[in-house]
Amino acid sequence: QVQLVQSGAEVKKPGASVKVSCEASGYTFTGYYFHWVRQAPGQGLEWMGRINPNSGGTNYAQKFQGRVTMTRDTSISTAYMELRRLRFDDTAVYYCARAVTAGSSFDFWGQGTLVTVSS
């Protein structure tokens, strides 16, 4: 069965970086885009960007341009999202999700990774 398993919770200081992983299983890794979505406490869903696991090509939300990098390692079916220069308002649950095409829905989601930015 399809599974997206994310890495564990992180606590970081302002200015630091965090790298969250998302390991896929149960399907062909390169057949689906990976998207990253975050949700601050009590807030809605916010799209951060996506990566094409085949080509490695990325599209980032303008808000995160210059601060986020999405990568993948096809040999271990894992996608990564790195966010740099963390701020207090980056505290959120970060989700990975897959989609078969650019405009398609997110049919499977990871369990979420809580990133807390605290001094």
Partner 1 sequence: SYVLTQPPSVSVAPGKTARVTCGGNNIGSKSVHWYQQKPGQAPVLVIYYDSDRPSGIPERFSGSNSGNTATLTISRVEAGDEADYYCQVWDSGTYHVVFGGGTKLTVL
| Interface residue list for partner 1 (CB under 8 A) | 35, 37, 44-47, 50, 59, 61-62, 95, 97, 102-107, 109-112
User: DSSP letter string over the chain?
Assistant: --EEEE---EEE-TT--EEEEEEEESS-GGGSEEEEEEE-TT---EEEEEE-TTT--EEE-GGGTTTEEEEEEGGGTEEEEEE-S--GGG-EEEEEEEESSTTS---EE---EEEEE--
Nearer of residues 53 and 110 to partner 1, judged by Cβ: 110
* Least distance (Å) between residue 47 CB and partner 1: 4
If the CB atoms of residues 29 and 95 are measured against partner 1, the closer one turns out to be 95
